[in-house]
Amino acid sequence: MPHLGSGAGAGCGTKVRFEILRDRWQGVNGRAMSLQRRLTLFFIAIVMLPLIAAGYVVRYVVVGEVERRSEMSLEPALGTSVALYKAGVDSLDELVRLSSGSRRFASLLDEGDRPAMSRYLGSHLRDSNQADFLIALDRRGRLAGAYRLPARFATGFETPSASEIARAAGRDSGASGYASRKFPLRSGGRPSGAVIAGFWIDERFLESFAASEAGLAAVSNGRAIASTVPLGESIDLPDATGIYDVAGLGIARVETLTAGTNLIAFVSGAPIDALSTRVLYSMLGLLILALVLTSVLAYLLARLITQPLHELTEGAAAIAAGRFGHQIPVRSRDEVGRLTTVFNEMSEELRGKMGELSSSRDLLQRTVQRVGETLRSTHDMRSILDSILNTAADAVSADAAILWTFNPTRAELYPAITRDIQADDFDRVPVGHGLVGHVAERGVSVLRSTATDKPRPAATEPDLPVSIVVPIYSQERIMSVMTLYRHSDDTPFTTANLDTVAFLADQGRVAIENVILHEEAQRLSITDGLTGVWNRRFFQMQFRTVLAQAMRFDRPFSILMLDLDHFKQVNDSLGHQRGDATLIEFAQRVGDALREVDTFARYGGEEFICMLSETDFAGATITAEKILEHIRAEPFRGVGEKPIDLTASIGVASYPLHGDSYQTLVAVADQALYRAKQEGRNRVCTPGGPPPNLQVAR
C-alpha cells in the first residue's frame, strides 16, 4: 500500500480522492433517473386516484338515484290500489242495502227459491259496478242463492266458488283472490239470513289502477294469482310487506290487501343494469384517456424538476469533499434559481460554522443525552423538572438555577427545585411582582445582562446581576418558571443562550405532558366511581401536601365533614337508584360552591369531606353556610320523578386551631358533624372544645 505523504505521494492521494468523488457522482446521477421515474409515477397516482374515486362515486350516485326513483315510482301504484280496495269494500254496504231491502228479496229468502234468488241477485249485480258477486244465506247459514261475474285470474288459479266464499265469510277481510263483507239480516228482531258481497282481486282489478312505470301482481302464498304483465314460473315472489330486489322481476314493493292476498308493484331491473354498464364503460374510457395525458405531462414535469438537480448534486459532492467555497452558477430567477442562491449562501455559511460546530460538539452531546433522559422519565414530574433545569444550566454554563412553581391558588410562586443555591434563603414571589412574577404573569422570556436592567428581581428572589428567565408551558398554560443566573456581569448571557434555554423548555413540555397524562390515569384510580369526586385515599394524599405547605409558610387550612340528613329514607322509600342519583346531584351542588383549589372527596356512604386550602376557621364557616344554601336552594330532582327536599349537616375544623394531623382534624370535624346531627340537623356546627390528646402546632 503506497504511503500518502508529500510530493508524488500527495499527488497520488489527490487522484484517489478524485476517483472516489467521481464514483459517488456517477451513483448519484444514476439515482437521479430513478427519481425521475418515481416522480412520474407519483404524479400519475396523484391525478388518477382521485379520478378513479370520483368515477366510482359518480357511478354509485347515478345508479343509486335511478334505483331510488324506481322505488319511489312504486308508491303511487300501491297507494292507489289500497285506496281503491278500501273504497270498493266501503261501497259494498250500499249494494247490499239496495239488494236486500226489497220485499221481493225477503219473499225469495222465505220461499227458499234458490234459482229465483240467484236471478234476483244477478239483476242487482249487473246494474252496479261495485261488486263481482252477491251471495244470499238463509237463517241457518245455508246457501240461498248466488251470482258471480266471471273473474280473470292467472292460469292455474281457480275462481273461488260461492260455497267457498260463504265458508270464509266469517273474516271481514276476505280470503285468497277476493275481498268480501258479510252483512247479517234481521226480521222482527230475529236473524233472518245474511248477504255476502265482494269483488275479485284479479287482472281486471289490477288494470284499473296500473301505471305505465310499474307492473302489478296479486300474490297468495308466493304464487301470482293475477298480474298486469306475464310472469315467469320460476320467480320467487315475496309475501311479507316491504321492498325487495327480486331476481327476474326487478325492484318490488309488497303491500297487504287481504288476509290471504298481497299486492306487489315492481319495476324491471334491466334498465338499471344497462345504465350501470354504460356508466362503467364511459368512466373507463375517460380514465384511460386521462391516464395517457397524465403520463405524458408527468414525464415532462419530472424531467423539468430533476434536470437542474444534476448541478446541485455536483455542488453537494464538492461540499462533501470539504470545498465549502464551491459556487453554482445561477441560471434562472424561478424557484430553482432561488434554491441555487440559497445553496451558495449555505456553502459560505458552512465555512464559518465549522469552527463553532467543532468547539460545541461535546456540549451538544451532553445536552442531547440529558434531554433523552428527561423524555424517558415519564412518570416522575420532579425528576423531569430537575433534568430540564440541570440540562439548561449545563447548556449555557449557568452558575445557579431555580425552578419556581405556583401555589394552589396560582397567586404566588415558590422555589421548588434549585441548583447551586439554597432554596431556604428565598420566600414566595407574588405573580406580577419582581422578575419571576413578571414572567409568570405575561408568559414572556427575559434576558437580563446587568444589575440595572428591568424588570428588577423582588426582595424574595436572588439578587444576581445576570439572569435568564423562561416560562415552562404545559397544555397551553404556564406550569412553572425557570431562572438561570451568573454571579458576574463580566460574562453575560447572549441571545443564543436565551434561545437554547427556550428550546430546552419547549422540549421538556412534551415530557411534562406525558407525566400529566400518566397522572390523569392515576387520578381515575383515586376518584369515586359513583359521584366522580375524589375518594378517601386521594384526600389523605392531598392532605399531606397541604399540611406540609401550611407548616412551611405558616398558612391555615380547614376541613369540612358533610352528611346528607335522612338519606336512608330516600333509599328505603324510593330505591337505591334514586339514592345514587341524589348523591351525584349532592356532589355537584357542593362542588359548585367550592373553589378549584379546594379538595372535595367522598368519605363513605352519604358522608363527604372537604379541605379548604389557605382558609381559616371563619372563612371555612362561611363556605359551609354557602354549601347549605346550595343544597336548600331547590329540591333534588330526577327525570320524571317526584322532587325531594333534603338538607345536610356540616362539621368544621381548622389547622392549626383544632389540630395538626390528619387523624386529629378529621376527628374534630366528625365530632362537630355529630353535634350538628344532635342539635337538629340542617346546620353548620363547630367543635364544642378541643378533642382529647390534641396538640396544636406552634
Handedness of CA 157, 162, 166, 167 (dihedral sign): negative
C-alpha 5 chain-centroid distance? 71
- Which uninterrupted H or E stretch holds 466? strand 466-474
Task: Give every CB contact of residue 637 below 8 A, 6+ residues apart in sequence.
Answer: 585, 643, 644
How far is the C-alpha of 654 from the C-alpha of 668, rounded, in Å?
A: 9
More reliable by pLDDT, 427 or 624:
624
Q: Calculate the alpha carbon distances from 6 to 1, 19, 607, 622, 659 in Å.
A: 15, 19, 92, 93, 88
**Is residue 415 pLDDT above 70, yes or no?**
yes
> What separation, in Å, do the N-terminal and C-terminal C-alpha atoms of the chain show?
86
- Which uninterrupted H or E stretch holds 246? strand 242-246
How far is the C-alpha of 282 from the C-alpha of 284, rounded, in Å?
A: 5
* Residue 66 counted as domain residue: no
653 falls in which pLDDT band (50, 70, 90)? very high
Task: Give every CB contact of residue 593 below 8 A, 6+ residues apart in sequence.
Answer: 623, 626, 627, 629, 630
Fill in the amino acid letter for 462.
P
Q: What is the pLDDT of residue 19?
A: 53
Mean pLDDT lowest for which of 230-234, 275-279, 287-291, 543-547?
230-234
Residue 266: all three cell numbers together = 315492481
Most confident region among 54-68, 110-124, 665-679, 681-695 by mean pLDDT: 665-679
How far is the C-alpha of 508 from the C-alpha of 510, rounded, in Å?
A: 5
540 falls in which pLDDT band (50, 70, 90)? very high
- The total number of structural domains that make up the chain: 3
Peptide bond into 492 cis (omega under 30): no
- Taking only Cα atoms into account, the Rg of the chain, rounded to an integer number of angstroms, comes to 48
What percent of the chain lies above the pLDDT cut of 70?
83
* Residue 68 counted as domain residue: no
- The average pLDDT across 362-385 equals 64
Q: What is the pLDDT of residue 429?
A: 92
- Of 234, 267, 300, the residue at which a domain comes to its end is 267
Q: What is the pLDDT of residue 546?
A: 93
Q: With H, G, I as helix, E, B as strand and everything else as coil, classify residue 404.
A: strand
- The average pLDDT across 534-559 equals 92
How far is the C-alpha of 149 from the C-alpha of 132, rounded, in Å?
A: 5
Mean pLDDT lowest for which of 148-152, 386-390, 497-501, 506-510?
506-510
**Is residue 697 pLDDT above 60, yes or no?**
no
DSSP codes joined into one string, 160-189: PPHHHHHHTTTSTT--TTEEEEEEEEEETT
Q: Calculate the alpha carbon distances from 340 to 90, 303, 325 in Å.
A: 92, 18, 14
Q: What is the pLDDT of residue 24?
A: 52
400 falls in which pLDDT band (50, 70, 90)? very high
- Of 208, 232, 267, the residue at which a domain comes to its end is 267
Considering the domain architecture, whether residues 479 and 532 belong to the same structural domain is answered as no
How far is the C-alpha of 400 from the C-alpha of 461, rounded, in Å?
A: 13
More reliable by pLDDT, 121 or 272:
121
Task: Give every CB contact of residue 673 below 8 A, 6+ residues apart in sequence.
Answer: 561, 562, 563, 607, 649, 650, 651, 685
Q: Calculate the alpha carbon distances from 489 to 412, 469, 481 in Å.
A: 28, 16, 22
* Residue 255 counted as domain residue: yes
Considering the domain architecture, whether residues 670 and 538 belong to the same structural domain is answered as yes
More reliable by pLDDT, 282 or 635:
635
Mean pLDDT lowest for which of 69-78, 151-160, 336-345, 386-395?
69-78
Is the separation of the CB atoms in 296 and 83 below 8 Å?
no
Q: What is the pLDDT of residue 213?
A: 66
How far is the C-alpha of 611 from the C-alpha of 621, rounded, in Å?
A: 12
How far is the C-alpha of 256 from the C-alpha of 239, rounded, in Å?
A: 9
Backbone angles phi, psi at 481, to 5 degrees: -130, 130
Q: What is the pLDDT of residue 371?
A: 60
What CATH number is attached to the domain comprising 555? 3.30.70.270
- Of 500, 520, 540, the residue at which a domain comes to its end is 520
**Is residue 302 pLDDT above 50, yes or no?**
yes
Considering the domain architecture, whether residues 392 and 450 belong to the same structural domain is answered as yes
Q: What is the pLDDT of residue 362?
A: 61
Q: Calculate the alpha carbon distances from 448 to 74, 207, 436, 492 in Å.
A: 83, 98, 12, 8
Instruction: Please say if 606 is a catalytic residue.
Output: yes
Q: What is the pLDDT of residue 378?
A: 53
Most confident region among 80-94, 240-254, 345-359, 394-408 by mean pLDDT: 394-408
More reliable by pLDDT, 405 or 363:
405
Closest C-alpha to 235, from 213, 260, 256, 252: 252
Q: With H, G, I as helix, E, B as strand and everything else as coil, classify residue 498.
A: helix
Count CB-CB contacts under 10 A for residue 204. 16
Per DSSP bridges, beta strands 412-419 and 262-267 are unpaired
**Is residue 301 pLDDT above 80, yes or no?**
no
Task: Give every CB contact of residue 138 below 8 A, 6+ residues apart in sequence.
Answer: 109, 112, 144, 193
Considering the domain architecture, whether residues 492 and 388 belong to the same structural domain is answered as yes
18 falls in which pLDDT band (50, 70, 90)? very low
Q: Which residue has the cell 309488497?
A: 254
694 falls in which pLDDT band (50, 70, 90)? very low
State the maximum Cα–Cα separation within the chain, in Å, rounded to a whole number: 149
- Which uninterrupted H or E stretch holds 198? strand 190-200
* Residue 559 counted as domain residue: yes
Considering the domain architecture, whether residues 198 and 222 belong to the same structural domain is answered as yes
Q: What is the pLDDT of residue 6?
A: 40
Q: What is the pLDDT of residue 20?
A: 52
Residue 661: all three cell numbers together = 394531623
Q: What is the dihedral of CA 50, 52, 53, 54, to 10 degrees?
A: 80
Is the separation of the CB atoms in 405 and 418 below 8 Å?
no
* Residue 160 counted as domain residue: yes
For 429-476, the pLDDT digits (tens) are: 999 999 999 999 999 999 998 888 888 899 889 988 899 999 998 878
Beta-ladder partners of 263? 218, 255
* Residue 428 counted as domain residue: yes
How far is the C-alpha of 499 from the C-alpha of 495, rounded, in Å?
A: 6
How far is the C-alpha of 174 from the C-alpha of 86, rounded, in Å?
A: 12
Mean pLDDT lowest for which of 78-92, 578-592, 597-611?
78-92
For 561-578, the pLDDT digits (tens) are: 999 999 888 888 888 888
Q: What is the DSSP letter of 636?
A: B
For 183-199, the pLDDT digits (tens) are: 888 877 788 888 988 88
Q: What is the dihedral of CA 307, 308, 312, 315, to 10 degrees?
A: 90
Considering the domain architecture, whether residues 533 and 636 belong to the same structural domain is answered as yes
Considering the domain architecture, whether residues 389 and 473 belong to the same structural domain is answered as yes
Q: What is the pLDDT of residue 31?
A: 47
Considering the domain architecture, whether residues 513 and 574 belong to the same structural domain is answered as no
- Answer whether 0.75 is exceeded by the pTM: no
Fill in the amino acid letter for 655.
Y
Considering the domain architecture, whether residues 616 and 636 belong to the same structural domain is answered as yes
Beta-ladder partners of 612? 558
How far is the C-alpha of 69 from the C-alpha of 598, rounded, in Å?
A: 63
Q: What is the pLDDT of residue 39?
A: 77
**Is residue 25 pLDDT above 50, yes or no?**
no
How far is the C-alpha of 521 from the C-alpha of 174, rounded, in Å?
A: 68
Residue count (the chain): 698
- Residue 499 lies in domain: 364-520
How far is the C-alpha of 311 from the C-alpha of 28, rounded, in Å?
A: 11
How far is the C-alpha of 243 from the C-alpha of 259, rounded, in Å?
A: 19
**Is residue 151 pLDDT above 80, yes or no?**
yes
What percent of the chain lies above the pLDDT cut of 90?
24
How far is the C-alpha of 322 from the C-alpha of 573, rounded, in Å?
A: 90
- The average pLDDT across 255-265 equals 79
Count CB-CB contacts under 10 A for residue 271. 12
Considering the domain architecture, whether residues 207 and 246 belong to the same structural domain is answered as yes
Considering the domain architecture, whether residues 467 and 542 belong to the same structural domain is answered as no
Beta-ladder partners of 404? 415, 481
Q: What is the pLDDT of residue 364?
A: 57
Average per-residue pLDDT in the chain? Answer: 80
Q: With H, G, I as helix, E, B as strand and everything else as coil, classify residue 196.
A: strand
* Residue 305 counted as domain residue: no
594 falls in which pLDDT band (50, 70, 90)? very high
Catalytic residue among 412, 606, 634, 641, which? 606
* Residue 214 counted as domain residue: yes
Is the separation of the CB atoms in 151 and 202 below 8 Å?
yes
What CATH number is attached to the domain comprising 153? 3.30.450
- Which uninterrupted H or E stretch holds 123? helix 114-126
Considering the domain architecture, whether residues 557 and 452 belong to the same structural domain is answered as no
